[in-house]
Structure formats: structure tokens, C-alpha cells
Amino acid sequence: MHNIFFNLPSSPAFVIDTDQVLANLNRINTMRQASGCKVLYAMKALPLAALLRVLKPHVDGIAVSSLFEARLAKQVLGEEVSLHLTTPGLRADEFAELAQLCSHISFNSLEQQRRLQALAEGYSPGLRINPKRSYLHDDRYNPCRQYSKLGIDTAELQNAWPESVQGLHLHTLFAAHYFQPLIETVHSLLPLLKQHGKLKWLNLGGGYLYNSITDQTELLALLDILHNDYAEQVFIEPGKAFVGNAGYLISTVLDSFISDGKTVLILDTSVNHHPEVFEYQTRPYLFPTEPETGEVAILAGSTCLAGDIFGEYRFKQLPKIGERIMFCDVGAYSLIKANRFNGYNLPDIYQLKNGQTTLLKQYDYADYERQWLV
Ligand SMILES: *Cc1c(COP(=O)(O)O)cnc(C)c1O
């Protein structure tokens, strides 16, 4: 695989490895089959049509966050695909179209539900609830933070449960490597659920790396309890678990120099092709993995921002100008957030399938012009 990327005809490039996506699906499907739960793909992680088509036969629908996502999912996957929507940003002027496109809509607040639910028919109405059980240390992506805008406080719902609502939705975590938070959170909700009849559906959201958590025993037990007593259907809607480890960012070294004694390599990509690197100051993994010993270089992007830096990385031998640098595990929340800051083009998009790469999309000056020639 290393060689394929090394010989990719263009750079910078984003590669989606659809064989890896299918491997991820296998894990998720084991749980789906063992538990009878339904699986949706949260397309905001990577709304690439080619990916949606690969996933289509293996998922029960798509989780969307907006009108554009809903339209694209329908356009690519056809009328029969079922769409589940939740967003704090529901608009009255879009609601009729959304209700036509989406089979399930979870209102984010009681106020939103009161104002919008009756504006349309033909969908299953639900509520996004917020159990306010926090397992994340960084409030920037913690839905259960204090004063959260995401979902109805379950305490508030106690005496205000609208009878017309058919389902509940919760999504409380990001990139969890174990199921304990979900199990504890759902158990904390059971007293509330007991007060009402069996729900039509309960959506447990995303936020878990279902593809890499091997021990599913406790989760399966939980899903069993839910199916037996609390909900006719249980959904999960992971995003990153489908695509996170299936995406690569390929770049080329453009320049190499020493600054205050450290080697700096300038790449033909930047944090603008993976903004979470800058937003959360994360350091993406190099592919292939870094050696234990060797020389160190700072990998930096090509924009004017001083902090446009991927991090310090170790190499057996320092890469030279013209050589490829590759990051892995960047399939989710990267390309969708990418931008053309400084006028640098977006990466070319390739699909990797059966060991072969195919170019899916190449942006050019005309795309930049279309956005900015106003
Ligand atoms: C982001 C999001 C998801 C997907 O989250 P992952 O962490 O990618 O699994 C699912 N549901 C909702 C409501 C979300 O906001």
C-alpha cells in the first residue's frame, strides 16, 4: 500500500480506502446481526457520494444534519433510503422539504418541537435528549458540557414529555474506544423510559469506534434489554467508525530548511486540508508508522499561518524535497472541513479498491473562481 501511495500520480491527495471501509462494516455488522439493532451512517464525517454508494447495501439508512446532506443522500442513494435528522439549526422555511426527505426527525429542544412538529406530516417525530453525563475533558466537542445546546435536558423532560413523540435520540461522546459510557448513560435513562410506553425507536447516536472495539458482550446485553422493554427499534449512527481509519492524506515535500536548529519540511498540503489538526492541536499519524529512532523534522503546511504545523515527526532518514509524506487515520472530519485558504487547491480525491487507485475528483482554478468571482 505504501508503494501505491508513493506512486500516486498527483499530490496533495485524499485517498479513501473502500476495502478498509468494508472491513469496518464487517465489525459493525457482527453487532447488528447479533443484536438486531439498525445501523445508520452519519454522513457529515465524509459525505463523498462514492462512499455512500459503497455503504448503501450494508446500512439501514443515513444520519443527516441539514437540508443539503439530506438532498445529497437522496440524490445519490435514491428515494428508498431512509434519512434520520437532528440539528439545532432546523428552520421553519425548510421544514416541509426536510419532513418529506427524512423518515425520522429528532427535535433538539422542546421549543423547536412545539414550533415545527405540526408544520408537516409523514415523518416520525422524536426528541434529542441530553443526559448530561460527561465523559470528555475537552468541552469543545463535549455534547454534555454545561449549558449545552445539544438536546433536551432529561430532567426537564420528566414533566414535559410531548405525547406525540415516537422516539428519542442521544449522542453524547466522541471517538470512544470502549462502551462503558454508553452503558452507564443508557442505564441512567431507564427510570425515565419506564414512565412511558415502549418507544417506536431509540437512537443511541454515534461517537463510538464500533470498528475497533472487540468486546461487544456488554453492549449486546444492553441492546437486548432495550429491545425487550423500551424500544421497538434501536439505531446507532456512527460516522468516524466507518471511515476514520480508511482515509489517507498524501503530500509532497516542497522545501526543507533549518530553523533554530530544527529541520522544517514544507508540504504541499496544510492544516486547511485537515482543520481539526489545528482546531484541537492533534497530531495525525504518519504512514507508514514512525521508527523508534532516527532524525526529527517539523512537518509544516504551505500557508502563511505560523501555526500551520502537523507536528514533529521521526524518520529513519529525513525525507528530501520531492518525496512523499503520508498521514493515515484521517478519513473523518478532514476533507469535509477542508478549505482553500491562501488560494491553495483542495486535495485530489482517489479511491483505493482491490489494491488499485482511481482518481475520483480533481479541483482546479475554475472551482476557486466559482466561489470567489463575485
Ligand atoms: C457527529 C454525530 C454523529 C457521528 O459521530 P461519530 O463520532 O463520527 O461517530 C452521530 N450523530 C450525531 C447526532 C452527531 O452529531
Domains in the chain: boundaries = 2-15+244-372, 36-238
36-238 is a CATH 3.40.190.10 domain: no
How many Å lie between the centroid of ligand 1 and the Cα of residue 44?
8
Q: How far apart are CA 276 and CA 282, in angstroms?
A: 7
What is the model's pTM? 0.97
Instruction: Establish whether residue 238 lines the binding site of ligand 1, counting it when its CB lies within 6 angstroms of any ligand atom.
Output: yes
Q: How far apart are CA 133 and CA 110, in angstroms?
A: 20
For ligand 1, atom 7, the nearest C-alpha belongs to 207
Domain 2-15+244-372, CATH? 2.40.37.10
Q: What ligand 1 atom has the least distance to the C-alpha of 173?
A: 7
Per-residue model confidence (pLDDT) at position 148: 97
| Mutual angle of helices 180-194 and 217-225, in 10-degree steps | 10
Residue found by looking up cell 514512525 in the block: 290
298 has which bridge partners?
Answer: 264, 312
Instruction: Establish whether residue 203 lines the binding site of ligand 1, counting it when its CB lies within 6 angstroms of any ligand atom.
Output: no
pLDDT score of 29 more than 90:
yes
Strands 309-315 and 348-353: unpaired
Tell me what the pLDDT averaged over the chain comes to. Answer: 97
Q: What ligand 1 atom has the least distance to the C-alpha of 332?
A: 8
Instruction: Establish whether residue 249 lines the binding site of ligand 1, counting it when its CB lies within 6 angstroms of any ligand atom.
Output: no
pLDDT score of 4 more than 90:
no
> pLDDT tens across 99-120, in order?
999 999 999 999 999 999 999 9
pLDDT score of 2 more than 80:
no
Q: How far apart are CA 184 and CA 101, in angstroms?
A: 34
> pLDDT tens across 293-306, in order?
999 999 999 999 99
Taking phi over 0 as left and psi of -120 to 50 as alpha, with beta for the rest, 333 belongs to left
Q: Between the CA atoms of 98, 102, 107 and 335, what dihedral angle is there, to the nearest 10 degrees?
A: -80
Pocket probe for ligand 1: among 90, 171, 337, the residue whose CB has the most ligand atoms within 8 Å is 171
Confidence band for 307, pLDDT divided at 50, 70 and 90: very high
> pLDDT tens across 264-292, in order?
999 999 999 999 999 999 999 999 999 99
